[in-house]
Structure 1
Amino acid sequence: MCGIVGILSKEPVAEQLIDALKRLEYRGYDSAGIATLEDGVLVRRRAPGKLRNLERLVEDHPLHGHTGIGHTRWATHGRPNEGNAHPHMTEDVAVVHNGIIENFRELKTDLQASGAEFTSDTDTEVIAHLIGRELKSGSDPVRSVFHTLQHLEGAFALAIIFRGFDDLMIVARQGSPLAIGLGTGEMYVGSDAIALAPFTDRVVYLEDGDWAVLTREGLAIRDRAGKAVQRPVSQSQAQALLVDKGNHRHFMAKEIHEQPEVVGHTLASLVRFETNEIELPELPFDFAAIPRLTISACGTAYYAGLVAKYWFERWARLPVEVDIASELRYRDAVLDPDGAALFISQSGETADTLATLRHCRDQGQAIVSVVNVTESSIARDSDLVLPTLAGPEIGVASTKAFTAQLTVLACLAIAAGKARGVIDEAREKELVGALGEVPRHMASLLRDETPYEEVGHALSKARDVLYLGRGQSFPLAMEGALKLKEISYIHAEGYAAGELKHGPIALIDENMPVIVIAPRDGLFDKTVSNMQEVAARGGQIVLISDAEAGEAGCELAGHLKVPVVDPFVTPLIYAIPIQLIAYHTATLMGTDVDQPRNLAKSVTVE
């Protein structure tokens, strides 16, 4: 959500700013802009829509300044048009902002009363006017920013440049991530290290409440109270994360096809394959002793947590509570004093998840995180990080991050079962062996996508789609529905198959496609009964199963055959078909698969 870049350079920065913003496109945006200093005067270019619009504008009206800031905006306050695009400026200051200023209405009223004229509908513009008012009262830029920060409530990351100060940029972080890249006679700022990767691998991550004064020769970091502080310089691995689509049409397609490799790499980090045993780093708690595990996440990561609940309770007899992060934080949940909390996030910057982590830590919980970005805020605030080795996931709709999360969670559940005496060494080897076969089965599913194209063609004509599943397949039904509506904009819902007669069956008619996820396990016959109820009402059933079509006992509109695997790993295997269904439906409908409307990859505000 929103991307920030800033550069203090020896050369013109406009082209570099736009290139850095391109590396942040995965975060989601609907407008973009840059501002530079031209002979001490602030000049900006802004454009709604994709970065190519801004790029063309800058080609037609070049900027030559050596000091600049840039921004990709995901609209929160005000429509996604040029007037609301960042940077926001007064005569003396230009600001880019990621986050939400919660008290901007009160601040705006006060500023208007003192004569400020606003040109946008955004919350960000109040920051520019507050700093501008301080400057006009005689304060220098550093003191002006410090005083302004005291008035801001909410989450924000800021980069600010000033008229007449070519060798100065001030940045600040409260809640939203911000990284500073150290060059030789140059300084860089970005929402994450991927934006900085072409310029430097020496990165400083600001902590909550930090703000920093940058010049070309160095930086001075201060905390919320204005006291000088030191933050470590990290050697970023982001250079290795620069990616392209390869021979795929979309990043999402490439990332779907990377899953056999991703799952294999993630398994290799947690499994000793010579003996088929789980090999975890030292945990900050004892699985045998904790009374309960609390799992929290958002979106697709939340569904990974729901799958893990089945695993932990079935194979470790460990009570598990799973909450959407935005709910757990506010519902005053009762947490066991000796409990542990597990947080799942692709980016490691999800605002609700991070806030809930800190709430649980304050309640005395031991904290473990499953994240894809080991330099992220969630990772840094955890007692233990279990990384998903998925590499950068550019497509907004999560695919390989989801299966990598499931891989880590499956390994954790096996370790928990072993520690709690629920499974013995022989069963551990069986379950680990089943996990080891997952990459091969995934690869087999990806060899021929024709059946998924055919299903996608049928779904592309639908207005509503129902997904059904039981047991471990219930969270997959919800994830499948989420994937479809995210990228095709078709309304879809996922239900527990046993709930069909408690409401959803009223929707079934001959125009309703019903996707049924039904591995041939102990619940298969129950799901067959539900399919027959759908068929009796004319519903168009697409069965995803390792069973033969004839075992459904009713007519099918589609049958997607899945390899026979140990029931333990079916969520990992069946994730592939639900992703391919969504992808091919969306491509047939011509939507923006990698950057669907209104969505952001990394949700860094509540």
Structure 2
Amino acid sequence: MCGIVGYIGNKEAKPILLEGLRKLEYRGYDSAGIALANADGVHVYKEKGRIAALADRIDQETFATMGIGHTRWATHGKPNRENAHPHQSASGRFSLVHNGVIDNYEALRNEYLANVTLISETDTEVIVQMIEQFVYDGMMVEEALRRTLSLVHGSYAIALIDSKDAETIYVGKNKSPLLVGQGDGFNVVASDALAMLQVTNQFFEIMDEEIVVVKKESITIKNLQGDVQVRAPFTAELDASDIEKGTYPHYMLKEIDEQPAVMRNIITAYQGDSGKIELDQDIREAVKNADRLYIIACGTSFHAGLVGKQLLEGIAKVPTEVHIASEFSYNMPLLSEKPLFIFISQSGETADSRSVLVQVKKLGYPTITLTNVQGSTLSREADHTLLLHAGPEIAVASTKAYTAQIAVLTLLAVDVATTKDLHHDFDVIHELSLVAQAMEVLVDQKELMEHLAHNYFETVRNAFYIGRGIDYYVCMEAALKLKEISYIQAEGFAGGELKHGTIALIEEGTPVIAIATQSHVNGSIRSNLKEVAARGANTCIISMESTAEDDDQIILPEVHEYLTPLVAAVPVQLLAYYAALQRDCDVDKPRNLAKSVTVE
């Protein structure tokens, strides 16, 4: 959450910073601001709302070759101009942007800033005010920064500029993502490489509790003790065209349409010379040696993990549990003797999941991360990584990363089953190819999905998805998609649970959508749908060709029963998309949400 950019060089900083912020707006869009440094001092511009509002506020006559910027997702204080970043010290000398949460900011304020009047309600302002106080006490700026960060408890990624030094941007990081990019005669700072692909693809990873002194001709990385850290830059393997909408009206629609290609990308990425799926031998051994798998995830990734449990137990015969990261972190269950932890995160920066990763690594347990971002924190800190190969996902509501997670979990399950010499007739490459074809059929049914969204969701207050078995897990994701972007109160339920309480919420016209792709429970879920129809529900069925009846509204092309969640995901994503459009909601940037959840 929140996005940071910085630039120092010979070109005008303003357009580079604004373009970087636009690329990071998926991380937060409550407010935004930039600070531009030139010979006249530091010029700070802040505005509530989107980057476009900030751009309108900036004095276009202000020219600077150094600056920092921020797009905010509010944690401390309301989303307004006063709480927007950059924050300045009392004298105005220092300007700072921050992503993260400072847990002990109140104690620091009471101990170090008793005589300083704070302007904002944020924890961030405490950092910049403390730096100025330490400088007043006689410290050099870098020393004051290191001293301040050594006292801070929590997560942070920061960029700091000094009005008395137009040659330096100071950077610090702990738990929150931040990169420093290297150019020819300039250097940049960014929360995500995609923000600065317009100018460079060479980036340095910054580790926890490190600071960086960034000048236009040099990048110096140090730990909090002041020791220089030497490492080589990496090349960001991203195509700038991948992060553009092209002719699409929204990123979400583009990313839904990309799912067939993602399935094929995954096959290509994991297909060995033998023509079969071949995972890293260390990953095979780690799963083979485990007596139980623990999948840790949040939100959409949690729902993918629930499907993964079915795959890992059904195909690989490995007992598997799925846990919400934020609950597991504070309420760890009794573990088996030889657990293996699998962390699922689109961004690889999810704070709740990282908290669990830190805990289990201290206990000495092996870990695997499934992520879309190579070099992300969870990928870097886990023992092994399985990449999703989904390409950049910009829309806040995840679509292609969700199906990619399920596909990669399928590969893992089949590979482990093969390694364990378990008999199965599951040709995963063939089956995923069929999934890709089925997805292509479904993404072309946009007119049908728009029509159904109008019939079921345009004016309603709440809605329900029901299913049984693996369909129930898809229902949970379908409901999340709908509530995320259309703000309809939606819930996914196991069909048999309706009569145990939820059916009391059914009113005349309440939408109830059943997912019925599993033949062994097809009769049961249809019976559940008749129960709610008898009470006035507006019902809809999403079925597979093998389970379909004549009046079913959406019929999915036939795929293997293990992989029905991959094709069922497409229509529910499109239904949510069109429901949001019809209700005039911001599809790509739903209120109160951000793409990368980097605070607990």
TM over 0.5: yes
Aligned equivalent of 1:575 = 569
1:135 CA displacement = 1.5
Matching residue within 466, 469, 477 for 1:468: 466
Matching residue within 585, 594, 601 for 2:595: 601
Question: Given that residues 40 and 166 in structure 1 are in contact (C-alpha distance below 8 angstroms), is that contact kept between their aligned partners in structure 2?
Answer: no
Question: Given that residues 298 and 353 in structure 2 are in contact (C-alpha distance below 8 angstroms), is that contact kept between their aligned partners in structure 1?
Answer: yes
Aligned equivalent of 1:102 = 103
Aligned equivalent of 1:76 = 75
Taking only the aligned residue pairs, the percentage that are identical comes to 40
| Secondary structure of the corresponding residue to residue 477 of structure 1 | helix
Aligned residue identity for 2:473: P
| Secondary structure of the corresponding residue to residue 287 of structure 2 | coil
Matching residue within 422, 425, 436 for 1:439: 436
| Secondary structure of the corresponding residue to residue 428 of structure 1 | coil
Aligned equivalent of 1:499 = 497
1:242 CA displacement = 4.8
| Secondary structure of the corresponding residue to residue 393 of structure 1 | coil
Any residues of structure 2 matched to 1:110-509 within 5 Å, and which?
A: 110-113=111-114, 115-240=115-240, 242-271=242-271, 277-284=276-283, 285-424=285-424, 427-429=425-427, 431-458=428-455, 459-509=457-507
d(CA) in 2 for partners of 1:28, 1:112: 29
Aligned equivalent of 1:15 = 15
1:264 CA displacement = 1.0
Measured at CA, do residues 78 and 250 of structure 1 come closer, stay the same or move farther in structure 2, by a change above 3 Å? same
Matching residue within 577, 580, 588 for 1:586: 580
Q: After superposition, what is the alpha-carbon deviation per residue over 1:57-79, rounded to whole angstroms, capped at 9, x for unaligned?
A: 12x45321222110001111111
1:240 CA displacement = 4.2
Computed over aligned residues only, the root mean square deviation of the Cα atoms, in angstroms, reads 1.8
| Secondary structure of the corresponding residue to residue 130 of structure 1 | helix
d(CA) in 2 for partners of 1:210, 1:328: 28
Matching residue within 515, 518, 522 for 1:517: 515
d(CA) in 2 for partners of 1:19, 1:453: 33
Aligned residue identity for 1:512: T
1:286 CA displacement = 4.3
Measured at CA, do residues 239 and 245 of structure 1 come closer, stay the same or move farther in structure 2, by a change above 3 Å? closer
1:416 CA displacement = 2.1
Measured at CA, do residues 185 and 550 of structure 1 come closer, stay the same or move farther in structure 2, by a change above 3 Å? closer
Aligned residue identity for 1:451: L
d(CA) in 2 for partners of 1:202, 1:46: 29
Greater CA drift, 263-272 or 155-164: 263-272
1:337 CA displacement = 4.5
Aligned residue identity for 1:109: N
| Secondary structure of the corresponding residue to residue 536 of structure 2 | coil
1:327 CA displacement = 1.3
d(CA) in 2 for partners of 1:135, 1:550: 72
Q: After superposition, what is the alpha-carbon deviation per residue over 1:130-186, rounded to whole angstroms, capped at 9, x for unaligned?
A: 011111222111111111112211100000000210111110001001101112232
Question: Given that residues 337 and 363 in structure 1 are in contact (C-alpha distance below 8 angstroms), is that contact kept between their aligned partners in structure 2?
Answer: no
Aligned residue identity for 2:561: P
- Give the TM-score of the pair, scaled to structure 2: 0.96
Question: Given that residues 34 and 46 in structure 1 are in contact (C-alpha distance below 8 angstroms), is that contact kept between their aligned partners in structure 2?
Answer: yes
Question: Given that residues 194 and 242 in structure 1 are in contact (C-alpha distance below 8 angstroms), is that contact kept between their aligned partners in structure 2?
Answer: no
d(CA) in 2 for partners of 1:509, 1:272: 54
d(CA) in 2 for partners of 1:447, 1:602: 30
Question: Given that residues 471 and 518 in structure 2 are in contact (C-alpha distance below 8 angstroms), is that contact kept between their aligned partners in structure 1?
Answer: no
Q: After superposition, what is the alpha-carbon deviation per residue over 1:494-530, rounded to whole angstroms, capped at 9, x for unaligned?
A: 1111211111111112221101111142111111221
| Secondary structure of the corresponding residue to residue 278 of structure 1 | coil
Question: Given that residues 5 and 17 in structure 1 are in contact (C-alpha distance below 8 angstroms), is that contact kept between their aligned partners in structure 2?
Answer: yes
Question: Given that residues 286 and 366 in structure 2 are in contact (C-alpha distance below 8 angstroms), is that contact kept between their aligned partners in structure 1?
Answer: no
Q: May I ask how many residue pairs the two structures share in their alignment?
A: 596
Measured at CA, do residues 241 and 371 of structure 1 come closer, stay the same or move farther in structure 2, by a change above 3 Å? farther
| Secondary structure of the corresponding residue to residue 523 of structure 1 | helix
1:272 CA displacement = 5.3
Whether 2:554 is the aligned partner of 1:560: answer: yes
Aligned residue identity for 2:471: S
d(CA) in 1 for partners of 2:7, 2:281: 41
- Give the TM-score of the pair, scaled to structure 1: 0.95
d(CA) in 2 for partners of 1:13, 1:299: 37
| Secondary structure of the corresponding residue to residue 133 of structure 2 | helix
1:283 CA displacement = 2.8
1:201 CA displacement = 1.8
| Secondary structure of the corresponding residue to residue 52 of structure 2 | helix
1:343 CA displacement = 0.9
Matching residue within 526, 529, 536 for 1:528: 526
| Secondary structure of the corresponding residue to residue 316 of structure 1 | coil
Greater CA drift, 580-589 or 209-218: 209-218
d(CA) in 2 for partners of 1:130, 1:585: 48
Q: After superposition, what is the alpha-carbon deviation per residue over 1:36-86, rounded to whole angstroms, capped at 9, x for unaligned?
A: 22315221111111101111112x453212221100011111111111110
Q: After superposition, what is the alpha-carbon deviation per residue over 1:325-362, rounded to whole angstroms, capped at 9, x for unaligned?
A: 11112112333353211111111111111221222222
1:5 CA displacement = 0.7
Aligned residue identity for 2:588: D
| Secondary structure of the corresponding residue to residue 594 of structure 2 | coil
> Unaligned stretches of 5+ in structure 2?
none
Question: Given that residues 468 and 516 in structure 1 are in contact (C-alpha distance below 8 angstroms), is that contact kept between their aligned partners in structure 2?
Answer: yes
Aligned residue identity for 1:416: V
Question: Given that residues 40 and 164 in structure 1 are in contact (C-alpha distance below 8 angstroms), is that contact kept between their aligned partners in structure 2?
Answer: no
d(CA) in 1 for partners of 2:374, 2:113: 44
Any residues of structure 2 matched to 1:26-37 within 5 Å, and which?
A: 26-37=26-37
Question: Given that residues 337 and 364 in structure 1 are in contact (C-alpha distance below 8 angstroms), is that contact kept between their aligned partners in structure 2?
Answer: no
Aligned residue identity for 2:94: V
d(CA) in 2 for partners of 1:291, 1:40: 65
Aligned residue identity for 1:92: R
Question: Given that residues 30 and 48 in structure 1 are in contact (C-alpha distance below 8 angstroms), is that contact kept between their aligned partners in structure 2?
Answer: yes
Question: Given that residues 315 and 423 in structure 1 are in contact (C-alpha distance below 8 angstroms), is that contact kept between their aligned partners in structure 2?
Answer: no
d(CA) in 2 for partners of 1:327, 1:530: 31
Greater CA drift, 411-420 or 347-356: 411-420
Aligned residue identity for 1:76: T
